[in-house]
Each structure stands twice: as C-alpha cells, then as structure tokens.
C-alpha cells in the first residue's frame, strides 16, 4: 500500500472513530469509558491511536485526557470537544468535533467553528498564504459574535509527527508562508465566548518522546524501550503506560524521563477567561488545487 493510500485509510478510520465516539457522549457516562471504547474501535480497524483521545469540556479548549482512575462524568449542558487521531505505520489522521449534552445553549458557538473550518478548507490550495486561511477563520467566527482563539492553531502533519513544523493560524497573523502541493495539514478553528486566548492549566498526562539516550534506572529503561518501540514519536498518555506497567514503575519512569529531557509533557489548555465556552472543529486535509478532506466520512 503506498503512502497516500495508507494516509487515506488511517484518516478515514479517525473520521469513523470520531462519529462513533460522539455517539457515546451522554449524560452521566464516564469520560474514561468513552476513551477506552474509542481506542478499542480504532484497534478493531487495524490502526493505532494517533494521540491520546482528548475530551475537553466547557472552558477547556484542548488536552484533557482521562487518567488512571478518572471518575469524571458528562453532565447536562456540557460542551464537549472530542479530538482524536488514528495512525497506520505513522500516517496520522487528526479530527475533532463539539457536542453539547442535552441543551442547545451553544448551538451558534458550535456552528461558528464548523463554518469557519468549511470556509478555511475552501481557501486551501498550493500557493495560498497561511495568513489568508487564518483571516477566513477569524472573520467567520467573529460574524457569529464570538472570538477565535489566537494562540491555538492547526498544523502540518508528517509521518510519526503530529505537529510537523508549520502552524495554520486561526487569525491573520501576518505569516506569508504558502502551502505546497501534497502537504498534509490539519485545520482546527476554536471559537470562544471568552478572551480568545488560552493559558497553561493542570498537567494533562499527555507526553511525547523527543529524544533517546541511555538511562541508568532499569525500570525507566524498560518503559523508555516500550515507548520507543511501540509508540515512537506520536503522543501518549500515562494511562496508556499503566495498562502495560505498574503505576509505581510508570510514575518513576515519567519523572526520570522528564528530568532527563527525553519527553515533553502537555498541559491542559483552558480559556484565560473563567466560565467561557469553547467549540472546536477539525479535519486533516491533503493540499491540492481541489483539497481532499482525508478525515471526512
């Protein structure tokens, strides 16, 4: 199977997993149960998670991942961002949508990020400047009376690299860099009722391997070997490791690997303005004169 076909297959699985997962998000359901069912769905399609399933609620824009023993449940009125990925041999599809539980208070906010994504995709072609995509996103979101989150962005995607260099802005940031044919990009508008900026929050238990070197501690060496061999450089979660190793061994290894600078840790990303609501919509796209939405089902 050639590279493009592999990418298409992985992205299609991601899109299917998103629809499957969205159907599980209901009042009083545990977030961790939804996470595990999505992971099992992806595995059943002969793919792997492209990154830990993220289920971010209300003012949290991104990077909430269920941790071992997480007892968080969905509540009526929650605005839920489901963001997930699937990969085959390192070719990643990344996609997201927003679900509101039982109420309809944020239907325009959800629509703002959806329509911003649709409008942005229409601009995608070789030679288009990144700032133009950002302007389109921002203009649509502001037309609904909301603000785009300026310090979150889309990104290029490469094999085993989810955030591969270029940032696809959600406003006109003045970036004259142009898209090139056959690049794979993820565009992900975030619409907010708040300030339009996120801050660093609590740890998310999301990590990524950034470099390798020998480590002295045998337990840490064992966990590092598993990450390097089985997960490679796609993001992973503490819960994922705890399914393979004891919590003690995982906690020790993560502390040591962070101290040695071998892994990066991602924080949760709440809106700066407390009490805000944030919506998100995302697709992975192949840049062509007529762009191909890889994660569309």
Say which of 16, 39, 115, 188 is annotated catalytic. 188
pLDDT in tens, 19-52: 999 999 999 999 999 999 999 999 999 999 999 9
**Rounded Cα distance, 206 and 238, in Å:** 7
Is 274 annotated in the active site? no
Q: Containing H/E element for 240?
A: helix 238-242
**Rounded Cα distance, 45 and 13, in Å:** 7
Say which of 78, 115, 282, 283 is annotated catalytic. 282
User: Measuring CA to CA, which residue among 10, 94, 8 is closest to residue 45?
Assistant: 10
Secondary structure (3-state) at 78? coil
Confirm if 202 and 221 have CB atoms less than 8 A apart. Answer: no
C-alpha dist (Å) from residue 60 to 107, 177, 242:
17, 30, 25
Q: CA angle, corner 73, sides to 204 and 189, nearest 5?
A: 55
Confirm if 38 and 73 have CB atoms less than 8 A apart. Answer: no
Say which of 16, 39, 78, 94 is annotated catalytic. 94
Is 94 annotated in the active site? yes
Give φ, ψ of 61 to 5 degrees.
Answer: -80, -35
Q: Kindly indicate the confidence band of residue 165, based on its pLDDT and cuts at 50, 70 and 90.
A: confident
Is 188 annotated in the active site? yes
Q: Kindly indicate the confidence band of residue 1, based on its pLDDT and cuts at 50, 70 and 90.
A: very low
Query: How far is Cα of residue 208 from the mean position of the Cα atoms in its chain?
Result: 13
Is the model's pLDDT at 15 over the cut of 50?
Answer: yes
C-alpha dist (Å) from residue 291 to 118, 180, 194:
12, 12, 32
Q: What is the pLDDT of residue 212?
A: 96
3-state per-residue secondary structure call for 162-175: CCCCCEECCCCCCC
Count how many residues are written for the chain: 297
**Rounded Cα distance, 41 and 62, in Å:** 22
**Rounded Cα distance, 273 and 199, in Å:** 9
Positive/negative CA dihedral, 262, 149, 93, 281? positive
Structural domains in the chain, CATH included, are 3-200+270-293 (3.90.230.10), 203-267 (1.10.10.10)
Say which of 163, 217, 260, 264 is annotated catalytic. 163
Averaged pLDDT for residues 247-269: 97
User: Measuring CA to CA, which residue among 168, 157, 175 is closest to residue 121?
Assistant: 168
Tokens of 97: 């949508």
Overall pTM surpassing 0.95 (yes/no): yes
Say which of 16, 39, 83, 100 is annotated catalytic. 83
**Rounded Cα distance, 227 and 197, in Å:** 33
Q: What is the mean pLDDT of the chain?
A: 97
Is 163 annotated in the active site? yes
pLDDT in tens, 82-122: 999 999 999 999 999 999 999 999 999 999 999 999 999 99
pLDDT in tens, 117-151: 999 999 999 999 999 999 999 999 999 999 999 99
Furthest-apart CA pair in the chain: how many Å?
57
């Amino acid at each position: 199977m050639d590279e493009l076909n592999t990418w298409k297959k992985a992205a299609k699985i991601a899109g299917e997993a998103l629809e499957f997962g969205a159907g599980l998000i209901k009042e009083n359901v545990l977030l961790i149960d939804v996470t595990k069912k999505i992971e099992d769905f992806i595995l059943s399609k002969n793919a792997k998670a492209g990154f830990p399933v993220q289920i971010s609620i209300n003012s949290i824009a991104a990077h909430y991942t269920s941790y071992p023993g997480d007892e968080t449940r969905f509540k009526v009125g929650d605005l839920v961002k489901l963001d997930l990925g699937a990969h085959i041999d390192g070719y990643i599809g990344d996609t997201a949508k927003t679900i509101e539980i039982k109420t309809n208070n944020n239907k325009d906010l959800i629509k703002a990020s959806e329509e911003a994504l649709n409008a942005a995709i229409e601009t995608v072609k070789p030679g288009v400047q990144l700032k133009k995509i950002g302007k389109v996103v921002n203009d649509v979101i502001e037309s609904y009376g909301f603000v785009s989150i300026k310090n979150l962005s889309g990104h290029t995607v490469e094999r085993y690299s989810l955030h591969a260099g270029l940032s696809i802005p959600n406003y006109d940031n003045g970036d004259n860099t142009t898209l090139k044919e056959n690049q794979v990009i993820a565009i992900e508008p975030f619409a907010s009722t708040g300030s339009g900026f996120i801050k660093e929050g609590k740890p998310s238990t999301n990590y990524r391997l950034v470099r390798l070197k020998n480590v002295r501690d045998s337990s840490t060496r064992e966990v590092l070997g598993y990450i390097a061999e089985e997960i490679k450089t796609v993001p992973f979660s503490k819960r994922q490791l705890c399914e393979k190793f004891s919590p003690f061994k995982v906690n020790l290894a993560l502390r040591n690997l962070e101290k040695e600078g071998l892994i990066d840790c991602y924080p949760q990303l709440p809106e700066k303005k407390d009490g805000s609501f944030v919506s998100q919509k995302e697709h992975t796209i192949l840049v062509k004169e007529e762009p191909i939405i890889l994660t569309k089902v």
